[in-house]
Amino acid sequence: MAIKTQPVTVNLGPQHPSTHGVFRMRVMFDGEEIVDVEPVFGYLHRGSEKLAEERTYTQIVTLTDRMDYVSSMLNNQAYILAVEKLAGIEPSPRGVWLRMIASELQRIASHLVATGFLLQDLGALGTPLIYAMRERENILDLFEMLCGARITNSYLRPGGVFMDAPAEFWPALDRGLGDILNTVDELETYLSGNEIVFSRTKGTAVLPKELLINASITGPMLRASGVDWDLRHRAPYDYYDRVSFDRILHTASDNYARYWVRVQETRESVKIIRQCIEQIEPGDVRPSFDEVPRLIRPPVGDAYAAIEGSKGELGFYLVSDGSIAPYRMHVRASSLINLTLLRDMLIGGQFGDLFVTFGSVDLNMGEVDR
């Protein structure tokens, strides 16, 4: 006798321990199997794009901090690159090296957060998360040395950064890089070979790479499927063409592959920072105010600049009408676009995997809703 069941629809979020912020899903279950999912966005929609139209180009840097609040430096960098492209500003070399160091540190912090929360979603009661966040605190200390803020940095300015790193930053950075490698080794030892982690993440939420590309998904998610697409390598911005690093690829394109790619990429970021420290030279960290005034008036036109953010291609599209404020700012938010295939990943899967898959996408509600 076949048992007839009726699917049950449950609302998850916007307040839920593992929706990484104020994300909401309507999920339809049949037993433990997910039948349908509908994401609901907008619980953190703050209207940054509209507010940017009333602020000067330098003031907008503070708004970009608060979009993806676990990778503020990367947001700053993407925005500053767009402004520099729009206004034709030539950045000063020391500033560029400093912002490369800052953004790679931020990438490590972001990947650590992603890894920690993924394991939290897997059900580890906080321990891996706390170990990852402990290392993140050290990185935030480095940011405090650079700019005085922990997570909303506003460190970058058109043409470079707003102040030079203090003398004690460099030994601290050197120490910190060693600590990061230790933490990553520790995480790998305990987690990558753990049978429970492996059995729960292997083969779940597999996405073919053609589908990923068609859905505009970039970043670690795309690289976990074996597509060698890293803007730092394919479209080098700043001085990424002067450093060498390995591109981390995996073929499985499942949750484990995404986790693995993130963990490995932290090592590559450390490698990049080491090369930056070798190549950085004394000089001004930004052009003088004669060359790049406080109130920038870019020529009429538009520019789109994208960087390899911690979650994927992070792009800023700016339209200038020649005034001190942009006529239109648009953010190509990788977190939002990476969620395009959420339904494909979840439908047919188990309820227990729902938040693991969700965590493996690594999204940030500030960036999803802006």
Partner 1 sequence: MTGPKLIDPYGTPAGADPRGALQSITLDLDRTEGESVNKMKSTHLEPFPDPVLEVPDDLKRSVIVSSVDYLLNWARKSSVFPLQSGLACCSFEMISAAMARFDLARFGMEAMRASPRQADLLIVAGTLTWKMAVPLRRLYDQMAEPRWVISMGVCATSGGPYYQSYSVVPGVNHIMPVDVYVPGCPPRPDALLYGIMQLHDKIRRYSLNGQAAGRE
Partner 2 sequence: MTTVWSGGALAEAIEAFAPGSVESSAGSDVWLKPESISTVCEGLKIRSEFKFDLLSSLTAVDYIDHFEVVYHLTSLPMNASAVLKSRVGHGRTEASIASVVPIWRGADYQEREVWDLMGIRFDGHPNHKRIMLWEGYPGHPLRKDYVTYDQSIASTAPGAADSLKGAE
Partner 3 sequence: MGQAFLDNSLWRNIYCVLAGDSASCASRGYSDGFLPGGLEWLAFLLAALAIIGLVVNGVLGGVIVLIWGERRLFGRFQSRTGPNRWGPFGTLTSVADAVKTMFKEDIVPADADRILFNLAPILIAAPALLVFSVIPFGVGTYVADLNVGVLFVMAITSLTTLSVLTAAWSSGNRIAILSALRSVALLISYEIPMALAVVGVIMLAGSMSLGDIIVAQGVPFILVQPLGFFVFFIAAMAEMARAPFDLTEAESELAAGYLNDYASMKFGLFFLAEFMAEISTSAIITTLFLSGWRGFDPIPSHFWFGAKLIAVLFVIIWFRMTLPRLRVDQVLKFAWKGLFELTMINIVVTAILIAIWPEPTTANLWAMAAVNWPVAIISIYLVSKLLGTAPYDQPLPDPNAPSYPVGSESIPASSVLGAETTSAPVQARIQEEGGQ
365 binds partner 2 per the rule CB under 8 A: no
Interaction pattern, residues 162-201, with partner 3; x per rule: CB under 8 A? --------------------------------xxxxxxx-
Asked if residues 230 and 249 have their Cβ atoms less than 8 Å apart, the reply is: no
CA distance 363 to 219: 12
Task: Give 50: exposed, middle or buried? Use CB within 10 Å, 0-12, 13-18, 19+.
Answer: exposed
Among candidates 81, 18, 34, which has minimal Cα distance to 26? 34
Smallest gap from residue 108 Cβ to partner 1 (A): 16
Question: Which one of 341, 345, 346, 356 is in contact with partner 2 (CB under 8 A)?
Answer: 341
Among candidates 181, 306, 222, 63, which has minimal Cα distance to 317? 306
Question: Which one of 353, 362, 367, 369 is in contact with partner 3 (CB under 8 A)?
Answer: 353
What DSSP string describes 157-169?
ETTEESSPPPTTH
Interaction pattern, residues 299-338, with partner 2; x per rule: CB under 8 A? ---x-x-x------x-x-x-x-------xx-x-x---xx-
What tokens appear for 155 in the block?
């460190």
Chosen from partner 1, partner 2, partner 3, none, partner binding at 353 (C-beta under 5 to 8 Å by type):
partner 3
Chosen from partner 1, partner 2, partner 3, none, partner binding at 178 (C-beta under 5 to 8 Å by type):
none
Q: Name, in order, each residue with C-beta under 8 angstroms of 219's C-beta and a sequence gap of 6 or more.
A: 308, 309, 310, 311, 312, 313, 334, 338
What tokens appear for 64 in the block?
């970009």
Q: Scan residues 58-87 and list those touching partner 2 (CB under 8 A).
A: none
Q: Scan residues 238-277 and list those touching partner 1 (CB under 8 A).
A: none
136 binds partner 3 per the rule CB under 8 A: no
Asked if residues 187 and 135 have their Cβ atoms less than 8 Å apart, the reply is: no
Among candidates 321, 241, 187, which has minimal Cα distance to 179? 187
Asked if residues 24 and 14 have their Cβ atoms less than 8 Å apart, the reply is: yes
Chosen from partner 3, partner 2, partner 1, none, partner binding at 211 (C-beta under 5 to 8 Å by type):
partner 2
Strand partners, 322: none
Strand partners, 331: 316
Tokens 């925005």 — which residue?
A: 79
Q: Count CB atoms within 10 A of the CB of residue 153.
A: 25
Question: What is the contact surface with partner 3 in residues (CB under 8 A)?
Answer: 8, 10, 16-18, 29, 32, 85-86, 88, 119-127, 130-131, 134, 194-200, 202, 209, 213, 226-229, 234, 246-247, 249-252, 299-303, 319-325, 327, 350-355
**Binding stretches for partner 1 (CB under 8 A):** 4, 6-9, 14-17, 21-22, 26, 28, 30, 35-38, 40, 42-48, 50-51, 54, 62-63, 66, 69-70, 129-130, 133-134, 137, 140, 150-152, 347, 365-366
List residues binding partner 2 (CB under 8 A): 41-42, 45, 47, 49-50, 211, 213-218, 227, 229, 234-236, 241, 302, 304, 306, 313, 315, 317, 319, 327-328, 330, 332, 336-337, 339-341, 369-370
